[in-house]
A and B are shown apart, each in its own frame.
Chain A
Amino acid sequence: MSNTIPLFASDASLGRSILTSNESESEINENSPVSIWTIAKVHNIDPVYVVETSFVNFISHYKNAQKEKKHLIFGIKFRVVSDAKQKSEESLLTESKIVVFMKNSAGYKDLVRLYSEFHGKEENFYYTGRGDWATLQKFWTDNLLLAIDFYDGFLASNLLQYEHKAIPEFGSIKPYFFVESHELPFDSLIYDATKQYCDATQDKMLNVHSIYYYRDSDIISYCTFRAIANRSSFEKPNLNGFSSDKFSFESYESTK
């Protein structure tokens, strides 16, 4: 895969990544948590794409980017449903995930505003913070960029989950569609659905590689971490489709 964008997540994305947003070190220390900024420094990554589920580590990412003189491209992953005020199991069947990036510094305020709408309002909360397509359109600005998540976007969710009916309402927003490959058996199914959709709508696909740990072999630590977050165990993680050790930086490097 050429021109693949590495998408880092840090421990601010709870239960998702074991990378940190700590200040960079001169080399990767195999015996301690690895920072995105050490990876960026050691492997000359610039710009650095970071996608989180919260703003918790944004300041440290921003400061590290300035210190390293690298360009930070920051996005937040959101859950979107048809109607966020409808708190029912049916509403969960309309859920899918999107990523909203800030395109410029003005995009920071716009993304914070959108985040507050999705996560700061009790009436939208159902197990977790979320929003709906109408809210996304209402708070949308030209300083933001919308991408559709590969594994949890509306196409994948409708394809691989029974009775799932996530129907996006983009309005005038032009979305990009993430395409990933992590040696999972259903990668090709999601890719085909995405390609078919984008061929019909003329929307653009973006090759990305989500990164949650440094080496493939870190899967042991990562799996333990995910199991703890899932209140399960390493021997019975209960994580659907969790069968790839390719969400690593090492795996991204091998795609180049």
Chain B
Amino acid sequence: MGFLQINSRLRAMNPLNNELLRFKTEQKFLIYDTETCHLNTVAKNYPWQVGFIVCTLNEILESHCRYIYWDDMNNKISEQAKKVTHFDYAKYAKEAKPQREVLDFVESYLYDNQYVIAGHNTHAFDSYILSLWRRENGLKRDYSYLPRAIDTNSLAKMVKLGVKEAPRKDWMTLMFRFSNFSQKGMKTNLTALGKEYGIGPDLINYDNLHDATEDVKLNYYVFKQLINRIDI
């Protein structure tokens, strides 16, 4: 191990190293999730629910859930997605807001540089869904938030593979590098991680997962566990 690596490890081990997220108690995070019609990331897919929280490591400051109105949603969503996400058309029809209004609301947070963005599987899925949503509104793709974004699925794989650190300048590369990586037997879905890290039913209703709001809440607890297991 060279001097620079030793120096880097010592800095990481130093509890006063406030560069690490685990020590940034004032840092605000935006953790989000979308529910969609199916799993295509290039066309004809529409997010029908978005959930996100604004939080610090100590508390959840804001919690938002929006159903997103698209014409003819009942026919847009696949049967499998309906089943997996417990899609309730009556509830959707009652609560859905105009999609452009919701997009503007979400993006007012997403493109606010004060937040570190996080989500599960975002670099392989949700970020593309947000782009498709923009395209539906005639807007260009805009991934400018990705350099300050963390995919907790990628992060979980890094932890399981023994990766020691994820310097901020390399976040985007690392998140993409691990987003498509898979290994037989390695489980990094939110439910598996929640159970592995002992996040109990007092905090999360596991029966309601695949609802964006509940997924985001579980993601918050998993995220807090992950950043204690890797120097990020």
Listed in ascending order, the chain A residues whose CB lies under 8 Å from chain B are 159-162, 183, 185-186, 189, 219-220, 223, 234-237, 240-245
Chain A residues near B37: list those with CB within 8 A: 235
CB<8 Å pairs between A and B, sample of 13: A160-B177, A162-B181, A183-B140, A185-B146, A186-B172, A189-B172, A223-B40, A223-B42, A235-B39, A237-B40, A241-B124, A243-B42, A243-B131
Is the C-beta of B127 less than 8 angstroms from some C-beta in chain A?
yes
Chain A residues near B127: list those with CB within 8 A: 185
Number of A-B contacts (CB under 8 A): 61
> CB-nearest residue of chain B relative to A164?
B177
- Taking the closest CB of chain B, its distance from the CB of A164, in whole angstroms, is 9
Main DSSP-derived SS at the A contact region: loop
Closest 6 CB pairs of A and B: A235-B38, A185-B143, A243-B128, A240-B180, A243-B41, A236-B39
Q: Are B161 and A236 in contact (CB under 8 A)?
A: no
Chain A residues near B172: list those with CB within 8 A: 185-186, 189
Identify A189's interface contact among B131, B173, B178, CB under 8 A: B173
Count residues of B near A (Cβ-Cβ below 8 Å): 27
Identify B177's interface contact among A159, A237, A245, CB under 8 A: A159
Instruction: Find residues 80-128 in chain B having any chain A CB closer than 8 Å to their own CB.
Output: 80, 123-124, 127-128
Instruction: Find residues 52-66 in chain B having any chain A CB closer than 8 Å to their own CB.
Output: none
Q: Are B43 and A223 in contact (CB under 8 A)?
A: yes
Is the C-beta of B78 less than 8 angstroms from some C-beta in chain A?
yes
Is the C-beta of B176 less than 8 angstroms from some C-beta in chain A?
yes
Chain B residues near A219: list those with CB within 8 A: 42-43
Determine the distance from Cα of A183 to Cα of B127 in the docked complex, in whole angstroms.
13
Is the C-beta of B141 less than 8 angstroms from some C-beta in chain A?
yes
Q: Are A162 and B161 in contact (CB under 8 A)?
A: yes
Determine the distance from Cα of A219 to Cα of B44 in the docked complex, in whole angstroms.
10
Determine the distance from Cα of A242 to Cα of B124 in the docked complex, in whole angstroms.
9
Determine the distance from Cα of A219 to Cα of B42 in the docked complex, in whole angstroms.
8
18 further A-B pairs in the complex, CB-CB below 8 A; given A185-B141, A219-B42: A161-B180, A162-B178, A162-B181, A183-B140, A183-B141, A185-B146, A185-B172, A185-B176, A219-B43, A223-B40, A223-B43, A234-B44, A235-B40, A235-B78, A240-B180, A241-B124, A242-B42, A243-B42
Chain B residues near A237: list those with CB within 8 A: 39-42
> CB-nearest residue of chain B relative to A187?
B143
Determine the distance from Cα of A96 to Cα of B40 in the docked complex, in whole angstroms.
26
Given A159-B173, A235-B38, A220-B44 contact (CB < 8 Å): yes
Instruction: Find residues 170-218 in chain B having any chain A CB closer than 8 Å to their own CB.
Output: 172-173, 176-178, 180-181
Chain B residues near A185: list those with CB within 8 A: 123, 127, 141, 143, 146, 172, 176
Determine the distance from Cα of A240 to Cα of B39 in the docked complex, in whole angstroms.
12
Chain B residues near A234: list those with CB within 8 A: 40, 44
> CB-nearest residue of chain B relative to A192?
B173
- Taking the closest CB of chain B, its distance from the CB of A224, in whole angstroms, is 10
Q: Are B180 and A236 in contact (CB under 8 A)?
A: no
- Taking the closest CB of chain B, its distance from the CB of A118, in whole angstroms, is 26
- Taking the closest CB of chain B, its distance from the CB of A194, in whole angstroms, is 14
Chain A residues near B131: list those with CB within 8 A: 243
Determine the distance from Cα of A161 to Cα of B172 in the docked complex, in whole angstroms.
13
